[in-house]
Amino acid sequence: MTQPSNKDPFLLLKEKKSAGEIISSLTAYDYPTGRLLDEAGIDFILVGDSLGMVFAGLEDTTGVTIEHMIYHTQVVARGVKNALLGADLPYHSYRTPDEALENAQRLMEAGADAVKLEGGTSQIDKVCHLTQHGIPMIGHIGMLPQRVREEGGYKKKGRTQDDAERLLRSAKDLQQAGVGAIVLESVVPEVAAEITRSLKIPTIGIGAGSDCDGQIRVIHDLLGAYPWFRPPFATVYADFAGDLEKAAHSYIKEIQ
């Protein structure tokens, strides 16, 4: 059983929030990417269940299993020495508090420094169970990719007063339950800003405006490595897909 540690894995992120410095975060799914991002100075690296789409070609994240997450966490962890390394609990891996604890412990044993699960107030019993057993936790509210089929697509959250209040309440409940940071995904920027101001712990935004304490992006979006879909909030800084195609064409010419 994982025992509580005296070391706070979120210390750097909290210090950056206090100093008003932006927290940098990207996803990684393999050893070289994890190592390169770590050496570049990224603060928080997440082994996200987004790997189901950009790595495995699935329609969404619901087909990712705990075994997939354990494997990718193991290989990324080999390259990460300095950054906070988080790992997602995938769909249907935390249906009960005990199931959540068992699978969170497996991710920690695979090399994660912290574990993330989706959902707010409705998940507090599981979050409390994990934090009480020494699992450093990351929350995730707003648009929840694991519920995309239930909700019929990816939808912006916080558009109504009731929804904005629900998100703020969830964020405060997660903080009270002991999470060290919260991802805000596809939240109306004004609501994300209010949540960020209301919390002592850091918020990490994705499609939630620029007023969060940090930003996270899927590495394939940053690199232009998944050209079939690019979210509107992601800036593309490279053309890996184009460069790979050119390299393949050059190789074909060479061997011919």
Q: For 26-82, how does the pLDDT look when each residue is reduced to its tens digit (9 = 90+)?
A: 999 999 999 999 999 999 999 999 999 999 999 999 999 999 999 999 999 999 999
Q: How far apart are CA 169 and CA 121, in angstroms?
A: 7
Q: Would the pLDDT of 98 be above 80?
A: yes
| Mean pLDDT along residues 114-134 | 98
pLDDT for residue 61: 96
pLDDT for residue 6: 63
- Band the pLDDT of 7: cuts 50, 70, 90: confident
Q: What values do phi and psi take at 17, rounded to 5?
A: -60, -45
pLDDT for residue 153: 83
Q: How far apart are CA 182 and CA 121, in angstroms?
A: 13
DSSP string, 2-17: PPP-SS-TTHHHHHHH
| Mean pLDDT along residues 15-35 | 98
DSSP string, 170-203: HHHHHHHHT-SEEEEESB-HHHHHHHHHH-SS-E
What pTM does this model have? 0.95
pLDDT for residue 5: 52
pLDDT for residue 154: 87
| Mean pLDDT along residues 215-228 | 97
pLDDT for residue 3: 44
pLDDT for residue 150: 86
pLDDT for residue 152: 82
CA-to-CA separations, 233 to 45, 54, 119, 206, in angstroms, rounded: 19, 17, 22, 8
Q: What's the half-sphere exposure (Cβ side, CA atoms, 13 Å) at 41?
A: 2
Q: What values do phi and psi take at 131, rounded to 5?
A: -65, -35
Q: How far apart are CA 207 and CA 181, in angstroms?
A: 17
CATH 2.60.120.260 fits 11-217, yes or no: no
Q: Are 54 and 223 in contact (CB under 8 A)?
A: no
Domain ranges of the chain: 11-217
- Band the pLDDT of 1: cuts 50, 70, 90: very low
**Catalytic residue at 185?**
yes
**pLDDT tens column, 142-190:** 999 999 998 888 889 999 999 999 999 999 999 999 999 999 999 999 9
pLDDT for residue 32: 98
Q: How far apart are CA 170 and CA 160, in angstroms?
A: 15
Q: Would the pLDDT of 4 be above 70?
A: no
Q: Measured at the alpha carbon of residue 201, what is the angle toward residues 200 and 203, in degrees to the nearest 5?
A: 120
Q: Are 130 and 137 in contact (CB under 8 A)?
A: yes
Mean pLDDT (the chain, rounded): 96
At a CB cut-off of 8 Å and minimum separation 6, what does 88 contact?
A: 46, 47, 48, 49, 64, 69, 115, 116, 117
CA-to-CA separations, 117 to 48, 149, 165, in angstroms, rounded: 10, 17, 21
Catalytic member of 59, 102, 185, 245: 185
At a CB cut-off of 8 Å and minimum separation 6, what does 175 contact?
A: 182, 199, 200, 201
